Amino acid sequence: MNIVLLGYGKMGKVIEKIALDRGHQIVARIDITNRHEFEALSPSQIDAVIEFSHPSSAFENVKACLNKGVPVVCGTTGWLENKPAVEALAIEKDGAFFWSSNYSIGVNIFFQLNKMLARLMKPQKQYSVSTTEIHHTEKKDSPSGTAITIAEGLIENLEGKSKWINNENPADDEIAIWSAREGKVPGTHIVKYISDIDQIEISHVAHGREGFALGAVIAAEWIVGKKGVFGMSDLLAF
């Protein structure tokens, strides 16, 4: 498979290694310094684009892929106010757009576990709930896209919760996300239910970027030949 990397930072380099190990070809490595090279590529040269860039670039990058008629797998977070416009463009162009806040298989299992636990906790009004996320100091957006997905899963399955807030004490209808940026932490996410008598906690701790990168490459393999808007729940058949 011929892959273009849109964004060639630390994550892009890990994705490259895994893609090569799985027998794929990297036909271009695009960052802010050589964007013109992407414009010059023919769609016939590209089976899929994997986009891990910057929140300020992702919207234009994904639009460029869809306008070129090539499938795009996007892992950039922090730009989701524009995601509905991209989804509409994918449908309009009969293209393929795959987005996830986190491509780790383990994290996506954690998303489902989070929802299941929330349903179990729904009648237990004595517990307060919050979520914590810790990432490396180079991460640009806060809270993380993964933390937002976790909070949305809680809102979907708990009564009386309507929105999330970041690093603020929550009102009764709010889910608190506590965000921290520390050292070289790849990604830690924790959900806590606390009552006066006990605490229930689930967590996911990433040991490196490899899990995220592998999931992105698997998504690129999966999306070839498909049309529509997709996420990890489609790939994993949750």
Domains of the chain: residue spans and CATH: 2-103+210-236 (3.40.50.720), 105-205 (3.30.360.10)
Mean per-residue pLDDT, 185-199:
96
What does the pLDDT read at residue 189?
97
Annotated active-site residue in 54, 83, 136, 139: 139
Annotated active-site residue in 68, 115, 135, 204: 135
Q: 10 Å Cβ neighbour count for 110?
A: 21
pLDDT digits (tens, 9 = 90+) for 116-129: 999 999 999 999 99
> Is 139 marked active-site?
yes
Q: 10 Å Cβ neighbour count for 156?
A: 12
80 pLDDT above the threshold of 80:
yes
> Is 135 marked active-site?
yes
What does the pLDDT read at residue 109?
95
Mean per-residue pLDDT, 170-196:
96
Separation of alpha carbons 199 and 93, rounded Å:
49
Mean per-residue pLDDT, 74-83:
92
What does the pLDDT read at residue 188?
96
Which of 74, 186, 118 is closest to 82 using CA atoms? 74
Mean per-residue pLDDT, 149-178:
97
**pTM of the model as a whole:** 0.82
What does the pLDDT read at residue 140?
80
What does the pLDDT read at residue 138?
87
pLDDT band at 136 (very low <50, low <70, confident <90, very high): very high
Q: Classify the C-alpha dihedral 10-221-28-89 as positive or negative.
A: negative
238 pLDDT above the threshold of 80:
no
Are residues 10 and 24 in contact, defined by beta-carbon separation less than 8 angstroms?
A: no
Which CA distances in Å does 172 have to 41, 128, 162, 164?
52, 9, 9, 11
